């Protein structure tokens, strides 16, 4: 066969493959890529830019009319939807006297209260939210939001919507007549049941998510300080994970949450891992170096560290406290979790 015959025959062959809806492995780019492609970018959403846009939304969309949730979702600059390929984060605003009716869905959510105070009701339990509190709405739990305080209430939402949609597994339902759900438990009932790390005997809980609907910030903050001091106050900082008190596992099947302290002037280890992370700044200010580029942050800002990007955090003046949300539980069961860490001593070598 001449070169020309060969090329003509190959072109005809690939045409036949297209018609038969098959592709030759040797023509598909990246089938055996040696490392993940870094196709999402780091980005910081600054509270001083986004909070005013949230308040402007009050004039654009009435709660209960145009929308049930006055929320602004953060899109990764390299994506149409999703802060990363599995996670979506954003801010949500509820004004005094407003309510956001109950619904439930297969995607899971966490809230991190940033300003004001009010209630999220989770499966009949009204959960009081104060600054820094972590509140869970696990998959398929009824949830609504109520605000009987006098200061606009803002929180960070973090959900696994892009992951669930990617699995073609999104289902959602409105509560009866689009109303608030009936209260069937007392305020913070789950916190009262499990607060001290001692579990009720013969506990009948069988769900895969944490039975605790709230992790109060005052408790988490004392735990973090105590742990950090007991570790000898490392300049690289300290991190604790919020866990299911019954199993020691992650808070939600798809989501893990952490609280990190970087002491004033301190610097974390440099690491990268396959899961992505969304960080929200609860205290202090500083910056992160992500793939060598500097991203400054201050209180209430949130930022995304995409999959397999090298990163480290540096605290400015004052201690920095960072909440973070990760899709790590999605990677773990399938052997997809990879993590590399560079300790500072090796870093300088």
Which residue's Cβ lies closest to ligand 1HN?
157
Question: Exactly one of 98, 133, 157, 160 binds ligand 1HN (CB under 6 A); which one?
Answer: 157
Closer of 109 and 259 to ligand 1HN (Cβ):
109
Closer of 140 and 236 to ligand 1HN (Cβ):
140
Closer of 181 and 238 to ligand 1HN (Cβ):
181
Give min distance, CB of 130 to ligand 1HN, in A.
17
**Beta sheet of 302-305, edge-to-edge order:** 43-45, 302-305, 277-283, 320-326, 256-262, 238-242
Region 272-331 residues binding ligand 1HN, contact defined as CB under 6 A: none
143 makes contact with ligand 1HN (CB under 6 A) = yes
Region 78-137 residues binding ligand 1HN, contact defined as CB under 6 A: 88, 92, 109
Give min distance, CB of 161 to ligand 1HN, in A.
5
Which positions from 208 to 227 touch ligand 1HN by CB under 6 A, shown as an x/- string?
Answer: --------------------
338 makes contact with ligand 1HN (CB under 6 A) = no
What size, in residues, is the chain?
A: 349
∠ Cα 294 300 302 (to 5°): 50
Question: Exactly one of 159, 255, 278, 290 binds ligand 1HN (CB under 6 A); which one?
Answer: 159
**Beta sheet of 311-315, edge-to-edge order:** 293-297, 286-290, 311-315, 270-273, 339-342
Please give the Cα distance from 202 to 219 (Å, whole number). Answer: 26
Closer of 160 and 188 to ligand 1HN (Cβ):
160
Give min distance, CB of 159 to ligand 1HN, in A.
5
Give min distance, CB of 126 to ligand 1HN, in A.
15
Give min distance, CB of 103 to ligand 1HN, in A.
6
**Nearest Cα residue to 252 out of 163, 187, 144:** 163
Q: How many residues of this chain interact with ligand 1HN, rule: CB under 6 A?
A: 10
Please give the Cα distance from 79 to 42 (Å, whole number). Answer: 12
Contact between residue 259 and residue 217 where contact means Cβ atoms under 8 Å apart: no
Contact between residue 96 and residue 285 where contact means Cβ atoms under 8 Å apart: no
Give min distance, CB of 165 to ligand 1HN, in A.
10
154 makes contact with ligand 1HN (CB under 6 A) = no
Binding site for ligand 1HN (CB under 6 A): 69, 71, 73, 88, 92, 109, 143, 157, 159, 161
């Amino acid at each position: 066969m001449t070169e020309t015959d060969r090329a003509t025959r190959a072109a005809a062959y690939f045409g036949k493959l297209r018609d038969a809806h098959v592709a030759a492995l040797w023509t598909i780019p990246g089938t055996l890529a040696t490392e993940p492609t870094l196709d999402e970018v780091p980005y910081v959403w600054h509270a001083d830019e986004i909070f005013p846009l949230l308040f402007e939304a009050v004039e654009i969309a009435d709660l209960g009319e145009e929308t049930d949730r006055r929320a602004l979702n953060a899109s990764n600059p390299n994506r149409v939807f999703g802060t990363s390929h599995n996670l979506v984060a954003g801010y949500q605003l509820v004004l005094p006297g407003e309510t956001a009716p109950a619904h439930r869905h297969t995607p899971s959510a966490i809230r991190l209260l940033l300003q004001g105070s009010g209630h999220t009701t989770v499966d009949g339990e009204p959960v009081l939210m104060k600054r820094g509190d972590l509140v869970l709405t696990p998959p398929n739990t009824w949830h609504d939001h109520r605000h009987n305080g006098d200061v606009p209430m803002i929180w960070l939402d973090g959900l696994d919507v892009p992951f669930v949609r990617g699995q073609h597994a999104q289902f959602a339902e409105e509560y009866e007549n689009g109303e608030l759900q009936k209260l069937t438990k007392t305020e913070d009932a789950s916190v009262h049941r499990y607060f001290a790390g001692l579990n009720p005997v013969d506990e009948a809980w069988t769900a895969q998510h944490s039975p605790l609907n709230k992790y109060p910030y005052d408790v988490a903050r004392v735990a973090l300080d105590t742990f950090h001091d007991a570790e000898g106050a490392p300049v690289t900082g300290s991190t604790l994970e919020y866990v299911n008190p019954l199993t020691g596992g992650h808070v939600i099947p798809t989501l893990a949450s952490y609280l990190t302290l970087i002491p004033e002037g301190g610097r974390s280890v440099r690491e990268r891992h396959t899961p992505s992370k969304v960080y929200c700044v609860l205290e202090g200010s500083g910056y992160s170096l992500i793939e060598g580029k500097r991203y400054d942050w201050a209180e209430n800002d949130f930022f995304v560290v995409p999959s397999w990007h090298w990163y480290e955090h540096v605290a400015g003046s004052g201690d920095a406290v960072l909440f973070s949300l990760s899709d790590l539980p999605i990677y773990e069961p399938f052997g997809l979790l990879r993590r590399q860490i560079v300790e500072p001593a090796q870093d300088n070598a």
